Structure 1
Amino acid sequence: MGGSTPSGLVATGDPSERAINAAAKVSPAVVSIINEQLFGFGLGGQKLEGDDAKEGEGILREAGVGSGVIIKKKDGKAYIVTNYHVVAGAQKVRAVLTNGEIREASVVGEDQITDLAVLAIDDKGIDTVAEVGDSSALRKAEFVMAIGNPLGLGESITMGVVSVIEEVVPVSLNQNGVIDWEQEVIRVDAAINQGNSGGPLIDLNGRVVGINSMKIADFGVESIGYAIPINKAMPVLEELMAQGFVSRPYLGVYTLDLQQYWRQQDMGDLGDLFGEDPEGWLGEEEGSGSGAEDSEGAAEQGKDGEEPDGGEGEAGGTSSDLKLPDNVLAGVIVLEAVGPALKAGLQFNDVIVDFDGHAIGTTMELRKYLYSKKKIGDSIEISYYRDGELKKTKLKLGESVAEE
């Protein structure tokens, strides 16, 4: 006697068969990414890397691996999506196709804030382009798969479920322990390991619903991975393909959080007490404090292209005689002003505390206000302290441009 489907439920077929078909559909569009950087030796035989090696002789060597997925073909090029941190610092980027062929790739555009980048390769022989899905249609407990190149071992597929549809994860863009941005992500329990970064998260229909980017790698934590929702990624990717960078309102300040400054000053007092720099904190970059690590091993997402620097941990460059009223406990110290900020009169050691009547206590709040509340060309009123006196200035926000 035949069975029947209970009222209200939809028969979807064998999930394993759907997974096999979905993986087969997308896999030909998945590539491995090789980040090659210049390594050399300077005077005295010391090892030089990246920009330091450019001045002398050196050789290109593999500095990191990641993954990517082809989402578009146009005018003889195939466009690959990956993470910014996968290609950061690369002198040369190569893409490895599923048939093992290695092709040189060019960086079309990259964006550190969203941790996204677009590469291009010759489209000869590229027959499969991944279908872009709808991340807003995802449901809790829905099966998803992460495809990529973990540990450089070649293509791998892991499966899990959507744990959280929308989660906000604090990150340190410059990997200096300062939480200066928040990334909206999908949380999954599919295994995401080093090398999976930049690869696609797909649903059982074989559609890309996310770009795998981070995991929590703390001791005792298992199966907590994150992917950038494809609906959030696509507007950025389209802009990167069109102009190579993302246009955002531009203020023009290098900054340091006041709270971080006070913390480093306190550690300086402790260093005086013990006659040394405790744990190497004075004027140095601190260890990651975000708790969320990308699958290349850190929560770094790169330099903010809008604020020329978003809290680099350069307290050593800030005057130790900062003058503020006793009740001012939060704000953003200006380490350097350029562009619109310089024209408006902002200077070294000014402490920004307010935008348009909204309190600004951290670099993250500064960025979030600019990017969510303002547009290029808008005016903004800035309240700041200089030598203990509250001042105000107005300026017109500029437009971010691609870095040389």
Structure 2
Amino acid sequence: MGLFDDDFYSTRMSKRSKGTGRARFRPFGSNGQGSTLRVAIVSSAASAIVVALLFTLLNGGAKAEPSAKPALAGGQSLVETSERIISASEKVRPAVVSIINLTNEALDMLDPDAELDDGEIPYEASMGSGVIFQKNGGKAYIITNAHVVQDAAQVQAVLVSGMKKEAKIVGMDVVTDLAVLEVEDKDIEAVAELGDSEKLRDGEMVIAIGNPLGFGDSLTQGIVSNKKRIIPISMNQDGNYDWEQEVIQIDAAINPGNSGGALVDLNGKLVGINSMKVADLGVEGIGFAIPIDNAMPILKELLAKGKIARPYMGVFTMDLQTYLDGQTEPDDTVDGDTDDSSEIDDEQAAGDEDIEASAEPVVPDGVYDGVVVLEAVGPALDAGLEVGDIVVQLDDEPIDSTLALRKYLYNGKKIGESLKVTYYRGGEKATLNVKLEEKPQQTDEAADPESER
């Protein structure tokens, strides 16, 4: 039998037909039939050659195209793409670090006599990721998320080699969720090459590198689902949306600890900072990264000033729609910024209730959008705004929420400029001008000046 267990493909045949003694096949040339057969074969071959020549002439001598290979956008083959992923990860991995955040509470729980090996992370610590993006004057600078280092008493950066370095927070910005850390640059060779997030395309393959769940130097891949997704965020996780962030939506796995890590393209260039994911039952493959083009102006200002200077109006507000819906808990924000002050004592809280009760807003018929002033301080107080006023417009921009108020201030105005405020008081419409000042910065040692009643 041959290679196939089938009579049709058998390489053997009987020399005689069943039931006869006469041979079925005879060798060529054994008689006149063999000569005739040779003539027929030669004739057929000649005809085939002629047809092939005519076909070639009619088609201009074009060569047959090579067989198609599986390819991705840009013409890369799958093998080539795999090699690019390997090359890109090798290029950027040494620039990605693990961030250890030790709060005062964590330090109190930490055994002072415990000795940790290089790369070992205390159980009491919280973890994140960061990217080395600059070296200068004996220092190396690391991008991470603000929430990764928030409330930190001590911060450490762990290199890919396992070496730990004490890190200093140069500056952080809660609104954009970005922070810059500083470490000594000894033994640090790799610096991430910055890419261009504006040139990303939906469907483009990207790589996320970070420290998920404490597994440092972890790599996942995915695609860009949407390079300019606008999502609402709650900066203090209280359920009230404080800001809107433009992000890159990706389907690469983003898990706790990945925050602050690198999102890179297949050239190994940094195009985003991994920031968050949708954490809900049954939701998979929806992660977000801050575009590097949006991050760099913030990072440069943090490096230069240690903070982001933003205009300050000086009002605590709640959405008018929330008030009309009968919700009694205020949004508790100043210019839309979260009130992170220390707890208010009972006497002060009682005083706030008296203020709110004595300044009940009067809502005119047909007015449904705006913000209710819960307290005016600083520039707003100096300009004459009062508790219970309903702000409906800033300059020529209608204001329907605290979020809209903050967006207009931060995106449309500068420190020192005058702001025209249109509002209702006692049901009557009026206007006034507020001169914007620089927003005071929060510190861990004292309450936010804006939150002091």
The normalised TM-score by structure 1 is: 0.80
Mark the CA change 1:159 to 1:380 in structure 2 (over 3 Å): closer, same or farther. same
Amino acid at match of 1:36: L
Per-residue CA deviations over 1:53-77 (Å, capped at 9, x if unaligned) read: xxxxxxx984521100000011111
- Structure 1 counterpart of 2:369: 330
- Structure 2 counterpart of 1:381: 420
Residue 176 of structure 1: how far off its partner (Å):
1.6
- Structure 2 counterpart of 1:220: 282
1:3-402 to 2 correspondences below 5 Å: 3=66, 10-11=75-76, 14-39=80-105, 62-263=124-325, 265-266=326-327, 308-309=337-338, 317=352, 319-320=356-357, 321-402=360-441
Per-residue CA deviations over 1:155-176 (Å, capped at 9, x if unaligned) read: 2100001111111011112222
Which secondary structure does the structure 2 equivalent of 1:182 belong to?
strand
| Cα root mean square deviation, aligned | 3.0
Amino acid at match of 2:206: V
Per-residue CA deviations over 1:269-317 (Å, capped at 9, x if unaligned) read: xxxxxxxxxxxxx5799xxxxxxxxxxxxxxxxx98x6554799x9995
CA distance in 1, matches of 2:339, 2:292: 26
Does the Cα contact within 8 Å between 2:102 and 2:153 map onto a contact in 1?
yes
Which secondary structure does the structure 1 equivalent of 2:283 belong to?
coil
Does the Cα contact within 8 Å between 1:255 and 1:311 map onto a contact in 2?
no
Residue 359 of structure 1: how far off its partner (Å):
1.4
Residue 125 of structure 1: how far off its partner (Å):
0.9
Mark the CA change 1:9 to 1:18 in structure 2 (over 3 Å): closer, same or farther. closer
Does the Cα contact within 8 Å between 1:180 and 1:362 map onto a contact in 2?
no
Which structure features the higher share of helix residues? Answer: 2
CA distance in 1, matches of 2:305, 2:298: 11
CA distance in 1, matches of 2:124, 2:143: 20
Mark the CA change 1:174 to 1:151 in structure 2 (over 3 Å): closer, same or farther. same
Which secondary structure does the structure 1 equivalent of 2:105 belong to?
strand
Residue 127 of structure 1: how far off its partner (Å):
0.5
Q: Percent identity?
A: 52
Residue 32 of structure 1: how far off its partner (Å):
0.8
Residue 227 of structure 1: how far off its partner (Å):
0.4
Residue 255 of structure 1: how far off its partner (Å):
2.1
Mark the CA change 1:116 to 1:108 in structure 2 (over 3 Å): closer, same or farther. same
Amino acid at match of 1:228: I
Amino acid at match of 1:210: G
Residue 338 of structure 1: how far off its partner (Å):
2.4
Amino acid at match of 1:28: P
Which secondary structure does the structure 2 equivalent of 1:39 belong to?
helix
Residue 387 of structure 1: how far off its partner (Å):
3.3
CA distance in 2, matches of 1:209, 1:176: 30
Mark the CA change 1:284 to 1:152 in structure 2 (over 3 Å): closer, same or farther. farther
- Structure 2 counterpart of 1:279: none
Bigger relative contact order, structure 1 or 2 (CA pairs below 8 A, ≥6 apart) = 1
CA distance in 1, matches of 2:317, 2:420: 18
Does the Cα contact within 8 Å between 1:114 and 1:183 map onto a contact in 2?
yes
Mark the CA change 1:112 to 1:355 in structure 2 (over 3 Å): closer, same or farther. same
CA distance in 2, matches of 1:82, 1:124: 20
Per-residue CA deviations over 1:353-389 (Å, capped at 9, x if unaligned) read: 1111321111110011112222222211101233333
Which secondary structure does the structure 2 equivalent of 1:161 belong to?
strand
CA distance in 2, matches of 1:187, 1:364: 22
Residue 392 of structure 1: how far off its partner (Å):
1.5
Residue 10 of structure 1: how far off its partner (Å):
4.1
Aligned length: 353
Does the Cα contact within 8 Å between 2:262 and 2:274 map onto a contact in 1?
yes
Range with bigger deviation, 237-246 or 377-386: 377-386
CA distance in 1, matches of 2:193, 2:87: 14
The normalised TM-score by structure 2 is: 0.71
Mark the CA change 1:9 to 1:114 in structure 2 (over 3 Å): closer, same or farther. closer
Residue 238 of structure 1: how far off its partner (Å):
0.5
Which structure features the higher share of strand residues? Answer: 1
Residue 334 of structure 1: how far off its partner (Å):
2.2
Q: Identify unmatched segments of 5+ residues in structure 2.
A: 1-63, 110-121, 444-453
Residue 144 of structure 1: how far off its partner (Å):
0.3
Q: Identify unmatched segments of 5+ residues in structure 1.
A: 41-46, 48-59, 269-281, 286-302
CA distance in 2, matches of 1:9, 1:324: 59
